[in-house]
Amino acid sequence: MKKSHRRLELIGEYGQIAQDFLTGKTLEEWNEDIKLRYAAAHALAGIVENLKEYAKDAEAFQKLLNQYPEIPWNLVIRFRDKLIHHYEMMDQEAIYEFVTQQLPELLKAIREIISDFYLD
């Protein structure tokens, strides 16, 4: 398996973990539970770090950009720097909304790409 495809699998794994943390959790519960926020932040860090590494394979990343232009891949990669270096200053509601509203679409694309890889 190409190393870049393993990165996609890791994104999927971390994404599922992040979603599992928030399943059934309200924004109020998110705001009140610092352990939940830190655990989800760690899973998100795994997603964005692996996406950043995946992007180093220019051909594979360009294919991702072309196949799924509706997903702001470069914005997600830039999100990494904020998450890692400026976590304390981030809007916690924005993180919650990313995991509950935007992450599912990103993970759907990742799963489709992984499926295509194994079908080729």
How far from chain centre, in Å, is Cα 13? Answer: 10
Q: Please, which residues have CB within 8 angstroms of residue 30's CB and are 6 or more apart in sequence?
A: 22, 36, 37, 92, 96
Enzyme catalytic residues: 80, 85
The answer to whether 71 touches 5, Cβ cutoff 8 Å, is no
| Residue 72, phi then psi, degrees to nearest 5 | -80, 75
| Runs of H (alpha helix) within the chain | 3-22, 27-32, 34-54, 58-67, 73-85, 92-97, 103-119
Q: Quick one: DSSP state of residue 25? A: -
